[in-house]
Amino acid sequence: MKKIMMLGVAFCMSLILLSCQKEVDSSEKINDILENEKYMKIELGEDYHQSSVLFDLQEEKAVVPKDVKWGLPKYREKDTIGVSFGEEGTEIYKADGEMYPELYAKAYLASIVNLDLSVKEVKDRNYSVKIADKEQLKWFEEELYTVSTLVIGDSYELSGVTVEFDREYRPVKKIFQLKKKNNMILGDEEDDSEKCIQEFSYDVGKMKFNREFSRVENLIGKD
pLDDT one-digit tens code per residue, 184-212: 555 678 888 999 999 999 999 999 999 99
Q: Which residue, 158, 164, 168, is CA-closest to 130?
A: 164
User: Alpha helices of 64-204 — where are they, by DSSP H?
Assistant: 106-115, 119-124, 134-147, 152-155, 189-194
Structural domains for the chain: 30-222 (2.50.20)
Where does residue 127 fall: left (phi above 0), alpha (psi -120 to 50 degrees), or beta otherwise?
left
pLDDT of residue 2: 47
Percent of the chain residues past pLDDT 90, beyond the cut: 72
pLDDT of residue 137: 96
- Which distant-in-sequence residues (6+ apart) come within 8 Å of 31 by Cβ? 113, 116, 117
Average pLDDT estimate for 50-75: 96
Question: Where does the pLDDT of residue 141 fall: very low under 50, low under 70, confident under 90, or very high at 90 and above?
Answer: very high
User: Residue 18: pLDDT above 80?
Assistant: no
3-state class percentages of the chain: helix first, strand second, coil last, to nearest 5: 40, 25, 35
Question: Where does the pLDDT of residue 87 fall: very low under 50, low under 70, confident under 90, or very high at 90 and above?
Answer: confident
Average pLDDT estimate for 59-85: 95
CB contact at 8 A, 108 and 16: no
Q: Which residue has the higher pLDDT, 72 or 9?
A: 72
Please state, rounded to an integer, the average pLDDT across all residues of the chain.
88
pLDDT of residue 98: 79
- Which distant-in-sequence residues (6+ apart) come within 8 Å of 142 by Cβ? 111
Beta-ladder partners of 20: none
Q: Which residue has the higher pLDDT, 26 or 170?
A: 170
